[in-house]
Amino acid sequence: MKYSIKTIKTYPDDGNHKEVVIDLPFYISRGLDSFTYIGSTGKEKEYNSCKSSKTDRRWIVLLKEGANPSLKKIFNIRLDKDLDKILDYCMKIYKKSLIEEISRLERELKGFEEERLEII
């Protein structure tokens, strides 16, 4: 998988604020401003909370707009200090979503064909 790492626009080039450019429907970064998100357990969590003056060094993966419906259904926000683990998660879940998307489209096509036969 090819990717590049660059400084996030509007952030200082101090090595703390990075994003990964990848040709998949994920936004991977570290050092963003703090925000609250819902974790996989359904509880609110904070990224880069203001409890400390240090920038959070964990990579976080978020879903980009336009992701396929199957990916939206199975995706969970992930954080890890190891970028390779984040990239592995992205590849694994994206592949799984494509397999589910193929199944969904086959079911939809079959339903359409059955509907078409009933009309004729």
For the chain, which residues make up each domain, given as ranges?
3-119
Give 70-73's long-range contacts (Cβ < 8 A, gap of 24+). Answer: 70/96, 70/97, 70/98, 70/100, 70/101, 70/104, 71/25, 71/97, 71/101, 73/100
**Gap between the Cα atoms of 47 and 66, Å rounded:** 23
Judge if pTM exceeds 0.75: yes
Which stretches does DSSP call E strand in the chain? 3-7, 18-22, 26-30, 35-38, 44-47, 59-63, 78-80
Per-residue pLDDT tens digits for 38-79: 777 788 877 765 555 666 788 999 999 999 999 999 999 999
